Amino acid sequence: MNLNERLNTISVSVIIGILLVYVFSFLDWTLSILAFFSIIPLYFFVQKNYARYEFLNKIWHLDGAWRYGFPFALYLVIGNIVQIVFIGYDAYHLYIAYALRTIIVAFILLQFRSLYRELADFKLDGIAIFAGAVIFVLWIGLEGYYPMLFSANNHFDPSIFNANLMIILLIIRFIGSVFVAPFIEELFTRSFLIRYAISPKWMDVPIGTYTFGSFAIVTLFFGLLHYRWLPGILTAIILNLLLYKRRNIFSCIQAHATANLFLFIYVVYTKTWYFW
């Protein structure tokens, strides 16, 4: 089993396991925990039988999209899984989820890094770094000047813990926001989704190909993925334009990471934890 086949098998078994966790969470907490551990036997079942069943075979292949869809899906749903599994620890859900999200998604990206061929073309991009600085200014400068459609129930505030734990949480936040988030979000939105919105045969679409439809879909998706929707939409526009200009995913990752780095420094210095 090659690297891509192994990732497909892991993806299908984990996604099925997570769906079972959700279903059983409405019935009994113990059943949802058992469903979580069903991922291991599911892996061996999928590995052995994916080619035998047409529906499972289609899901397993999924047009080569699992390398993008699986880590991004985990990135989104880990918070919900933590709420189901860690009952009685509501005050710590956000911190547990962020730590797990950072560790698990980083591990997947590193373990299967050779599958992301678009990352082979790395070069330092001054325009991308400038774009990241502009994004940071928009994120901070627009605060309070637009209506919030929805808001977070709580914020990532490491200052409520003792000094040692606060430092650990800040390190995790730094790694997650500056390294993990830019990679997974840009790989999914501007390497996969923006091309899939052009054609189901997305792998034949060159990176940086423009159509109005794909531009609009990714802009709205990326913007509404964030609580601060207006700077989120403007960020998506800037990163899309950067993609069309550079035709290089790493340029988008650099811009995204730069913006998040500046935001990290700003939040820690000013203690405006509500930005997290």
pLDDT in tens, 122-162: 889 999 999 999 999 999 999 989 988 776 667 899 999 99
Domain termination residue (choose one: 97, 115, 133): 115
Taking residues 55-72, what's their average pLDDT?
Answer: 91
> Does 100 lie in the same domain as 2?
yes
Give the SS3 label for residue 142.
coil
What was the pLDDT predicted at 87?
Answer: 84
Model-level pTM? 0.92
Count of structural domains, the chain: 2
What was the pLDDT predicted at 246?
Answer: 96
> Does 152 lie in the same domain as 31?
no
Domain holding 267, by residue range, is 118-276
> Does 106 lie in the same domain as 193?
no
Q: What pLDDT, in 10s, does the model give residues 72-123?
A: 999 999 998 998 888 888 889 999 999 999 999 999 999 999 999 999 888 8
Residues 35, 17 contacting (CB under 8 angstroms)? yes
> Does 98 lie in the same domain as 134?
no
> Does 269 lie in the same domain as 183?
yes
> Does 186 lie in the same domain as 274?
yes
Q: How far apart are CA 173 and CA 181, in angstroms?
A: 10
Counts for the chain of helices (H) and strands (E), in that order: 13, 0
Q: What pLDDT, in 10s, does the model give residues 194-247?
A: 999 999 999 999 999 999 999 999 999 999 998 899 999 999 999 999 999 999
What was the pLDDT predicted at 190?
Answer: 97
Domain termination residue (choose one: 115, 141, 159): 115
> Does 206 lie in the same domain as 160?
yes
For residue 64, pLDDT over 70 is answered with yes
Phi/psi for 13 (5° steps) reads: -65, -40
Residues 232, 224 contacting (CB under 8 angstroms)? yes
- In this structure, what token pair is assigned to residue 126? 């001054």
Domain termination residue (choose one: 61, 84, 115): 115
> Does 7 lie in the same domain as 69?
yes
Residues 3, 117 contacting (CB under 8 angstroms)? no
